[in-house]
Amino acid sequence: MIIICWYQSRRLEGVRTMRKKNNGLLLALPQLAGFLVFYFVPFLITVWYSVSFGIGEREFVGLDNYKELFQNEMFLLAVKNTIKYMSVTVPITLAAAMLLAAALQNTVKAVRFFQMSFLYPMILPIASVVLGVQFLWGAGGAWNRLLRAVGVEGTDWLQTPAAFWVLCALYFWRFAGYYILIYLARLQMIPKEYYEYAALFGANEKARFRYITLPTLVPTILFTLILSVMNAFKCYREAFLLGGSHPDNSIYLLQHFMNNNFQNLNYQKISSAAVSIVAALLFVTGVICGLYLLMKKGEKYG
């Protein structure tokens, strides 16, 4: 009798587990269906367009579209500018955000004001921000008026290589506060006893940051690194509003190349460029995740 009761209880537990799993699958089904219909299937179509040619009935051409793409001067210029833009904005913004978050970690006064103000740049419409930039550095902007007042001829700074640094400054101003909040949330989870214990053994502030704060922030740094690369690809709105479809060469980015070829209905170049970008992003994400797993494995085995 006891064995029968035990068997029935195990059977009921198994049924409940299966129901929970099925409920989870049913809850995720709309999201999975949306991903397949609106993302995965269109991406497969894009892959087919990137290795074919023609209108209507398409002919398989292999890697010819990719060879033509990587011989295109404007595409190479866009790749160079995009990599340069990310190489400048991403490390500087993340490093500054991490240091500011560490400085604000023990701040008590006005901390709520700082936390709220960090999100203001992301709330402001991009068009109004660009209008403010044009007011300062446009052809008739305040900076040129100041130069003319001292007898120096001004220029349209947004149509010169200086536009690249203006675009970098916009990225820093817009996203630095957001990353500070992410780092602050993680830093507040570190027990204060760790710092007090280290201070008792004579560790100064620099040593505490190196051996306590920095190792704790490693997963968050990797997360914000992926997030910042994704946000860097969203800078096209600012670049387009600053310079239009054909801006100065210093801010001609991959999004300009995609948009201009879309207007010319050059689907082969668009598809090849899109697949190449996705492959590059997947590679970078894989490298970052691999480094994180290696670090975790090293910590586990000492």
Question: Is there a domain that residue 98 lies in?
Answer: yes
User: According to the model, what pLDDT value does residue 4 have?
Assistant: 46
CB 251 within 8 A of CB 167: yes
Residues 168 and 291 in one domain: yes
pLDDT tens, per residue, the chain with 302 residues: 444 444 455 554 554 555 555 566 777 788 888 888 888 888 888 888 888 887 767 788 888 888 988 898 999 999 999 999 999 999 999 999 988 888 877 665 656 666 677 778 888 888 888 888 888 887 777 888 888 888 777 777 888 888 899 999 999 998 988 898 899 888 888 888 888 788 887 778 788 888 888 888 888 888 898 889 888 888 888 888 888 878 888 889 988 888 888 887 788 888 898 888 888 888 887 887 787 778 777 666 65
Q: What is the Cα–Cα distance from 140 to 157, expressed in whole angstroms?
A: 10
Examine residue 55 and state whether it is found in any structural domain, yes or no: no
Mark whether 81 and 112 lie in a shared domain.
Answer: yes
| Residues 22 and 102 placed together within one structural domain of the fold | no
The span from the CA of 173 to the CA of 170, in Å, is 5
Nearest to 161 by CA among 84, 93, 233, 70: 84
Residues 32 and 138 in one domain: no
Distance of alpha carbon 175 from alpha carbon 184, whole angstroms: 14
Q: Say whether both 43 and 69 belong to one domain.
A: no
CA pseudo-torsion sign 100, 104, 110, 116: positive
Q: Are strands 52-53 and 59-60 parallel, antiparallel or unpaired?
A: antiparallel
User: Do 206 and 77 reside in the same domain of the chain?
Assistant: yes
Which residues fall within 8 angstroms of residue 107, CB to CB, at 6 or more apart? 114
Residues 69 and 209 in one domain: yes
Q: How far is CA 132 from the centre of its chain?
A: 24
Cβ atoms within 10 Å, residue 65:
21
Residue 170 φ/ψ, nearest 5 degrees: -65, -40
Closest CA to 225 of 89, 84, 79, 80: 89
Same domain as 70, residue 46: no
The CATH code of the domain that includes 114 is 1.10.3720.10
What range does the domain containing 42 cover? 2-50
For residue 4, give every residue at least 6 positions away whose Cβ sits within 8 Å of its Cβ, in sequence order, or none.
Answer: none
Element (H, E) at 161: none
**Chain center to CA of 237:** 15
Q: Same domain for 140 and 45?
A: no
Q: With respect to residue 59, please indicate whether it lies within any of the assigned structural domains.
A: no
Neighbour count for residue 131 (Cβ, 10 Å): 12
What local confidence, expressed as pLDDT, does residue 56 receive? 67
Residues 24 and 82 reside in one and the same domain: no
- The answer on 141 and 38 residing in a single domain is no
Residue 248 lies in a domain: yes
Place of tokens 């970008």: 277
Domain count across the chain: 2
Give the phi and the psi of residue 189 in degrees, each rounded to 5.
-85, -10
Q: Are residues 150 and 198 in the same domain?
A: yes
